[in-house]
Amino acid sequence: MKLEKIFNQKDELIGYAFYCPGCKSYHSSIIKPFANEKGASWTFNGNLESPTFHPSILSRVAFTANKKPPKVCHLFVVNGRLQFLSDCTHELAGQTIDMEDL
């Protein structure tokens, strides 16, 4: 299994989380018709072993306490693979890798 299910307080399935080896943490995709706190949502191909989400997933962590540049992770999830875009600030920028089992 490449995904972990996310439920809301009404026990409705609203999305999935997956592990990102670039960030060494989890990202989540909230699937339509639900949306995350920023109003974003994704389509999902329904395949837990070979997931595809659309559009891309962008995670940006800003540091306000110091002058460090923001951490960016920007990727596509396509057929069970993570396609990291070149604007990622971690070492996997520009690479495509298989998703890890949880």
Q: Rule CB under 5 A: which residues touch Zn ion? A: 20, 22-23, 73
- Nearer to Zn ion by Cβ, of 15 and 22: the residue is 22
Q: How far is residue 62 from each of residues 24, 41, 71, measured CA to CA in Å?
A: 17, 21, 6
Nearest distance, CB of residue 32 and Zn ion, angstroms: 22
- Per-residue tokens: 78: 């396509």
Rounded to a whole number of angstroms, the minimum distance from the CB of residue 101 to Zn ion is 17
CB 13 within 8 A of CB 79: no
Residue closer to Zn ion (CB basis): 35 or 71? 71
The single-letter code of the amino acid at 5 is K
CA 62 to chain centre: 17
For the sheet containing 13-20, what is the strand order?
4-7, 13-20, 25-30
Between 8 and 94, CB nearer to Zn ion: 94
